[in-house]
Amino acid sequence: MSIALYMDEHIHLAITVGLQFRDVDVLTVQDDGRKGVPDTVILDRAMDLQRVVFTQDEDFLAIANHRQQEEVNFAGVIYAHQQKVTVGDCIRDLEIIAKVNEPEDLVNCVQYLPL
């Protein structure tokens, strides 16, 4: 089984499309009807859907850290700083993460890109 991704609303469309071309299971916040929803709700929704959130929003790091401290489960967060990775880097690294890991590998974890 591979990891399914839940793309935060500000992720460049080229990343989502590039992953879809590589047969990675991707759902965007927009396609899920959750545009404009608070980040905590997005993280809860991802857990319900058993999808790992991919974001470039630093707020998710604070939320994930808080949940780790409070031992509140979440499906996982993958974070990439907008100025430190290219679209191509994101596609490559996310494909690797999605295809070589199992969903439980990222539960309650934060993974940083680039790898």
> What is the tens place of the pLDDT at every residue in 38-67?
999 999 999 999 999 999 999 999 999 999
Q: Are 78 and 42 in contact (CB under 8 A)?
A: no
User: Which residues face 103 on adjacent strands?
Assistant: none
Sign of CA dihedral 114, 25, 21, 33: negative
Phi, psi of 111 (to 5 degrees): -110, 135
pLDDT for position 108? 98
At which residue do the structure tokens 């700083």 appear? Answer: 81
Around Cβ 36, how many Cβ atoms within 10 Å? 7
pLDDT bucket at 32, cuts 50 / 70 / 90: very high
Global pTM reads 0.96
pLDDT for position 61? 97
Q: For the chain, where are the alpha helices, taking DSSP H only?
A: 13-21, 39-49, 59-70, 87-100
Rg (CA), the chain: 13
> What is the tens place of the pLDDT at every residue in 79-113?
999 899 999 999 999 999 999 999 999 999 999 99
**Rounded distance between C-alpha atoms, residue 75 and residue 60, angstroms:** 12
Over 90: is that where the pLDDT of 14 sits? Answer: yes
Over 80: is that where the pLDDT of 1 sits? Answer: no
